[in-house]
Amino acid sequence: MTDATTKSVRRTLQGRVVSDKMQKTVTVLVERKVKHPVIGKIMTRSRKYHAHVEGMETVAGDLVQIEECAPISKTKAWRVAQGYREGSHRLVAAWLLHAQHKRNSS
C-alpha cells in the first residue's frame, strides 16, 4: 500500500473552550443536536474533551476546532487544530460597556 491509502482520517470536532487553567491543556465543550427517537424533540447533548494546545493562545469562550490524535496522557487524546478568537471580543465589549456605565453614573 502507498502512503496515501494508509493515512488515517482524523476526526474533528468544533466546540467552545470552557477552561484554560491548565498548562498546555484546555477543556473544550462540544455540543450536538439529536432528535429523540420516540418523542421527536430536538435535544442538545454535550461532552467535554481535554485537548492539547501548544504555541497557541486560547482563552475561555474561544471557539476551537479539535482533532483526534494519539493519546498524550490519561485524559488527553485530542489536540487543538484551529482557534477562533470569539470570547475575547465579548470580554472587551463587556468591559467597555461597564466602563461607560461607570462614567455615566458618576
Residue 22 belongs to domain with CATH number:
2.40.50.140
pLDDT of residue 41: 97
Residues near 41 by Cβ (< 8 Å), separated by ≥ 6?
A: 35
State the residue range of the domain holding 14.
Answer: 10-105
pLDDT of residue 96: 55
Residues paired with residue 13 on neighbouring β-strands, in sequence order: 66
What total of structural domains would you count in the chain? 1
Report H helices in 1-106: 3-6, 87-105
- Domain for residue 45, yes or no? yes
Q: Cell numbers of 99, please?
A: 466602563
- Domain for residue 95, yes or no? yes
| Residues in the chain, pLDDT under 70 | 1-7, 86-106
Q: How far apart are CA 92 and CA 17, in angstroms?
A: 17
Residues paired with residue 52 on neighbouring β-strands, in sequence order: 25, 79
